[in-house]
Each structure stands twice: as C-alpha cells, then as structure tokens.
Amino acid sequence: MKYMFASDIHGSAYYCKKTLEVFEASGAKRLILLGDLLYHGPRNDLPKEYAPKQVIAMLNEYKDRIYAVRGNCDAEVDQMVLEFPIMADYALLELNGKTFYATHGHIHNADALPPMQAGDILIHGHTHLLKAEPMGDKFLLNPGSTSLAKGGNPNTYGMLDENVFAIYDFDGNVIKEITL
C-alpha cells in the first residue's frame, strides 16, 4: 500500500495544490499531514501564494483521505474551519506492517523520543529539514517542507511504498530514500 506524507504547508495555496496533484497522481491511499497547515508562523517569511482560505477549501475536499496531526502553528480556530481532525499531538499508525509515530516534531523528535520499540518509525516535520535515516534500532523520517524548505533543500514530500520511504521534490526527483 502507498501513503503520502507532507508537512509544513503554512498556508501556501501554490504548494497545497501541488501536493494534492501529486497525491492524486500517486495512487496513495491516504495523505498524512504532519502539521502547520494554515498559518506561516512568526519566524517564517510568507510562503508562495499565501492564502489560508484557499488551502482550507482544497484540504476539505480531501477530508475523507487525510490523517493529520497538530503543528506548533496550528490552533483551535484552524480546527473550526477544517473538516478533518488536526488537534492530536501525534498519531500511531500501522502502515504496511510497520508502526509509525507520526507527529509534528515540536514535542517529540530525535532529542525527545516518544515511547518506541525496536523497528518503530518516528516521522515528523517542524524543522523543514528532510531526513530518512536509521536511529539505532529505530528509524527517523522527515519529509521536509512542502512550502518553506530550509537548509538548502528543495520543497519536498514523502512517499511510503510498501517498505521503502522516499522523499521527492516537486519535479519527481528522489532526494533521499530508505528501506524500512
């Protein structure tokens, strides 16, 4: 089964649209959003085509295919306009026989691990820095940021296809890949 991961849209209608186009074309079963959906945050510049109301409308069209967790820029007022749950700090997901601890990254991350067992996968956004690496007997994944990439990285998203997690740019190039 295929699953798409995206993080840190930050209200960019441009990158939200691109994300949803990739999702549609990919055949992924679900789109898993790792927080910071509508607001750009006080430390970030405005993303390309900053239009949170347009992002709301686009994401709500996919409400039955989205799993989402709360980012540090997401608020209760955002939940009032989004038609799918976004206020959980984390989600435990069983995907393709693997346990994923999906979170935004501002609470749980490589420096503040949640309770995990050998083989489990921590996936988060927040840093806007892509990662796909082993972490002892576990794995650490970050699909990067769809709209506000940092560290010289391109704008990216992640795709889980069976037991391979790949991070792609919006031109379809594989930036990083790991077998879980």
φ, ψ of residue 62 in degrees (nearest 5): -110, 15
pTM above 0.85, yes or no: yes
pLDDT by 10s per residue, the chain, length 180:
999 999 999 999 999 999 999 999 999 999 999 999 999 888 888 999 999 999 999 999 999 999 999 999 999 999 999 999 999 999 999 999 999 999 999 999 999 999 999 999 999 999 999 999 999 999 999 999 999 999 999 999 999 999 999 999 999 999 999 999
CA distance 124 to 40: 17
CA distance 121 to 63: 25
Question: Over the range 97-114, which residues count as b (16 or more CB within 10 Å of their CB) and which as e?
Answer: ebebbbbbbbebbeeeee
Q: Of the candidates 70, 92, 72, 93, which has an alpha carbon nearest to the alpha carbon of residue 82? A: 70
